[in-house]
Chain A
């Protein structure tokens, strides 16, 4: 393994794939077919490499591993600096896992501009992996911002009827965050004289400055998570995005926010983190209760799942800011679980959308009569979303609650209401779509999952159960890094109580 620049390979491979696609020639049908296969194989090999990364990752140390470092803009001390630790490695695996599934899911449903679509997806993959391995703030910023472009295009070109509004809203929210992130980047550079992330982690910023920096970073990451009240772009973006776009949006893009907190806010700005923890808790608790109630009343399946994402990500932010082992590890597991489960739920919606071209809940009902396999698969993800023990959703949520209880009983108490409300909207959704009498004429000929669809869902079901029953391979990787992160941040942290408005 030594000497193999694994991380550069992970980033470079999808880019190489896009280059191959560019040179494909022939009539449209041939191009479409070849491009699909190139995209699939590229993403599968990338996934294989990410597994290799996970296996060869040494969980006993909190140091960055697979480090690559070359001068990039030497005049400013900016390096092409890559590396992973126990937090980022799993997020890379998650990204690489979801992309091939997205490509298979788009196999038949995307028929226009296939080449451009696949290029957008592979570029997205390269940039997402880049975000998770960048160890230089400038490099991180570039990946972080550039990633928006393919996502923006995916929504704006292959999206639904209101795609322009949605893409615009998505962009506007994230842009405000981006500007502030850039400001923070510059301020840190002027203060510390470097953009090297490990060095910045060791730098002590003045408490006053920390607060400003923290708020600037928070603005950017909170939009990504998304936290209440900057979440309203998410339902619209999801509704208009094509299925695979939603999967990546929910599965990976939202994790950028959580990752940002863990990589920047906590270790670099410990005083400010302690200062603002009550704010984060308040917003998260509001998010959980508010969006759960809103999700209850949704008429559009994708919107409902989008709102549930906001609620589930509320658990992530609570967990991260408890600064306890269980809280942070729980937040991480919750991110992984949510990535898989919400991605899978969007794919479930995609299945019926491909058939009936509607996402309205009222449009369906009684699908179990015609689609028993689909009903079973949907059931698994519905239960994982509800957080049933034995599924991935439970492990994360429960660890977060365990961590939170050590910090604030009020936060835990209010967050736990989410498990009741979460069950309410998901079960109700499931009942209205799957159960009941099959009355609508056009549904009477709807067909069950095909072989390709089963191929997509099988790995997702297995991962959901794997994390639910034996999460140790995931948790084991994090222990050292999380312990290190807590010592970096702790000491300045006091017990925070929720400030109720």
Chain B
């Protein structure tokens, strides 16, 4: 039955993808929504069974690659970590499928869209149920492909195409490390089966091998290579540039792939490999450092963005940073807990933004919004729930998960832990600020856009709102009900390590416990001050701190940097090698040069029409001459 969770979405994808024209729009919607919904329900059943003490399970399907000692099978692994992911992926995916029925209404490519969504769900489920690194990589690339297809779904738009390619390529840079990590794991452990790796990892801890000419610690190197893949997929600092651009895709895609599920795959991978990372303390410090830096960095950019979806996108990037530094201080369960709660409230925020965009017929710029709460009150209320959860206001989902992460960071009592803690607090202030900035700019004040659009603004249909209510319930309650499960080592069993960090989180001093809430309140207060009480101030602040403002508005100039350092040189070198290397040097000295010389010679030697058989004979003659010479020389020696 558990296999059905994974393969039902594939069935839906195949039906809609191959027979979309026969089934029509409505048929394709039914053919995808129904299997995914069943899969989601079965996913929750599996989670409760696992929580109820049913043992881990592995389902072998068939051999994939078998070459010498290298063996990889198609097999599904079900344990507590998988169970949580099945529930998250299944439910968000099912809700997004249903929401898409309303959101994509009237689009000419509905069967294709639904097919891609289901294919994504399948790939993501393959990823979380992977029993070996190669299958993990299969799911990893599969979700990457679907992300590429869905970002570029509106293929007429040049920006969408550019964003799609960028997403794929930046992820490939991460995969570069991931792939090297996998082959490295095979070299060291002679297997890529997860269970076997975990069992033999302690024996390898502390040993070194030669990598690129340097003597390095094995596990640190492998973990860092694998983490490079995670950085790409989860848009961490340096490899984050694709995520904001990915907002060119339809909004349901942003909610499902670029908020709730795919981008968290990196966190999942680190958690899945926690027995390995636990033995590589240096790698963990890097994870914590990158995570904390990203949490802070992305939050600063979120402060100044004007596109409603980009604000939420940078917030996703920032929240992923939290999850990573939780893993970096060994609090894997906390990281996964935040992944779990974040999936609900971030999907809610995205779909809520989608509802706003839908109401305004495609308008995404918050500078041309305002005062919308009267027009779309239900969306407004739901966005409040999402923002409260995101900011970590007490008793909403984000409150529980963010608190335990920050406490664990503090409780680690290491330099890197404190770094993460303080950046996390700073990011929490900014998170609350930009969330309420979004709410105020969108829903309060007066409408600043085209009044024609305002007149036609309308609340979304029930098929879009009902999924939002489910997500809002998750955003409100997932933290409270999830917390006991997360803190129980018995629940996780063998699937996660590092419970000492969760234990340490409980011993954090009171001020540490209160500080995140204070930070959230401070952020909200500042946003209220700037965008409700003194709406003229933001422009004045931006003017006064113009260099800083431009720096943030232009996203720390990462895109410009990469374009100048990587993209343009690659093109220039490619062109130079083509014209110079191939054209002038190789051909000039080789065939063209020889051809000219031969022709010359041939014309002089014999007055025959230049036929190609003749050339052949001529060259054979040279060959025989060389041959004879060679044997003569050998004979002399």
Contact = CB atoms under 8 A, between A and B. Distances in A.
- Whether both chains belong to one complex is answered with yes
Interface of A: 152, 156, 167-169, 171-173, 175-176, 178-179, 182-183, 186, 229-230, 232-233, 235, 290, 293-298, 324-326, 329-330, 366, 368, 383, 388-390, 394-395, 398-399, 401-402, 404-406, 409-410, 412-413, 416-417, 419-421, 423-424, 427-428, 431, 434-437, 469-472, 475-476, 479
Contact of A179 (B165, B612, B620): B620
Contact of A296 (B67, B176, B571): B571
B511 interface: no
B67 A419 contact: no
21 contacts: A152-B612, A168-B615, A179-B619, A229-B590, A297-B571, A324-B68, A325-B69, A330-B67, A366-B156, A388-B145, A389-B142, A390-B138, A398-B134, A401-B180, A401-B183, A405-B187, A409-B210, A419-B176, A420-B176, A423-B169, A427-B148
A167 B574 contact: no
Contacts of A395: 65
Given A388-B145, A390-B142, A421-B570, 20 more contacts: A171-B616, A172-B595, A182-B623, A232-B586, A290-B577, A290-B581, A294-B577, A294-B582, A324-B68, A326-B70, A329-B67, A398-B134, A398-B179, A399-B65, A401-B180, A417-B176, A435-B156, A469-B64, A471-B65, A475-B67
Contact of B570 (A182, A230, A293): A293
Nearest 3 interchain pairs by C-beta: A325-B68, A179-B623, A293-B574
B627 interface: yes
A423 to B, nearest CB: 5
A441 B41 CA distance: 50
Contacts of A390: 138, 141-142
A409 B68 CA distance: 20
Given A293-B573, A388-B141, A435-B152, A232 B590 contact: yes
Given A293-B573, A402-B183, A232 B165 contact: no
Contacts of A366: 156
B122 to A, nearest CB: 11
Contacts of B595: 168-169, 172
Interface in B581-624: 581-582, 586-587, 590-592, 594-595, 598, 612, 615-616, 619-620, 622-623
A295 B598 CA distance: 30
B437 to A, nearest CB: 35
A183 B627 contact: yes
A399 B67 contact: yes
Given A182-B627, A472-B66, A171 B615 contact: yes
A436 B68 contact: no
A341 B495 CA distance: 40
Contacts of B186: 402, 405
A35 to B, nearest CB: 25
B172 A419 contact: yes
B626 interface: yes
A417 B172 CA distance: 9
Range class of the B interface residue count: 35 or more
B586 A437 contact: no
Contacts of B161: 431, 435-436
Given A290-B577, A297-B574, A405 B67 contact: no
B572 to A, nearest CB: 9
Contacts of A428: 165
B185 to A, nearest CB: 10
A412 B571 contact: no
A424 B569 CA distance: 14
Contact of B626 (A183, A290, A437): A183
Nearest to B154: A435
Contacts of A152: 612
A297 B156 contact: no
Contacts of B616: 171, 175
B65 A171 contact: no
Nearest to B21: A372
B163 to A, nearest CB: 11
Contacts of B615: 168, 171
A229 B586 contact: yes
Contacts of B175: 419-420
